[in-house]
Amino acid sequence: MHRVRRAILLATTGCVVASLMFATAAVASGPVYCDPITNLCTVVVKAPGHGGGQRSGQGTRGGGSGGSGDSTPSLADLCYSTPADPQPPASDPVWSGHAPGSGRAFVRVCPLTKTGPVSVMVWVANGAQPPSVTPAQLARRALASLRLPSPAFERSPDEANSDNGIPYTWVNLWTWYWTSPQSWRVLTRRAAVGPVWAQVTVTPTALVFDPGNGSAAVSCAGPGRAWTPADGDGAPASGGCGYRYQRVSAGGPLTATLAIRWAVSWQGSGGTSGTLPAMTTRTSATLAVEQIQAVTR
């Protein structure tokens, strides 16, 4: 039985390091802060003789693959904080107006801004929480970096059953549909910044067939399975999925759509967890519906 095979492109992302250029010589005042999802790194620097203050620089955004839906985080979600190590000297402007020993200096890193990566030194009072990324934000970041596969649109009668190059099925015959194991599988992605982490899990929950004739779509709880001669012409059973057209496609070929619905959940550090909006991937195919004359699959 002939089946449609669709290739899935997997994008890989290399690490892009943001280099900071200054007119005068500069020395690094801290470590390199690398965003684990965007693969963008920022070096905190200061010019000789300057105690501190705002550190900033421009760089190049790394390429990568994004998820679909409304999961892409805002630029503010991509910022995080880490303690300055070593702490800046007492002459640094970050201590201005604060009593000695009343707090610590943190480096606030925003890898993605309209002008490039930015690092800012901020003062945080003892016992207070520094501005930082949350597990929920990391879950959205992880989802945005995850590429969900579109369903491989398999059906019976298949594409080999064609009339003048147009695949077709028959009125009142159960047209089976299914997808491949490669497109129906649980996917996970983890993101972390320091001790804060989240892992997102995307689970296929339904295979939805839109017949393309104006009738309501039908849903199957699993990935379906291939039709076999032992199944005959009866309704799909034992994990099979199908649809029965009631009329011929007199106006020309139809565009049928096969979709996978995905449920999105996440777990994170500190016992946190939650869900994100469901997602859908789709694949379409053209077929006609004709009167039954002789049925062969």
**H/E element, 45:** strand 40-46
Which residues of the chain register pLDDT less than 50? 1-77
pTM over 0.75: no
Label residue 142 exposed, middle or buried (CB < 10 Å: 0-12, 13-18, 19+).
Answer: buried
Residue 178 pairs with which residues in a beta bridge?
A: 154
Rounded to whole angstroms, the Cα distance separating 105 from 101 reads: 11
Residue 96: per-residue pLDDT: 84
Q: What is the pLDDT of residue 293?
A: 63
Q: What per-residue confidence (pLDDT) applies to 134?
A: 78
> Residue 5's Cα: distance from chain center in Å?
23
Q: What is the structure's pLDDT at 149?
A: 96
Q: Tell me the domain boundaries of the chain.
A: 25-132, 154-290
pLDDT in tens, 195-235: 788 999 999 999 999 999 999 999 999 999 999 999 999 99
**Structure tokens of 114?**
């309209």
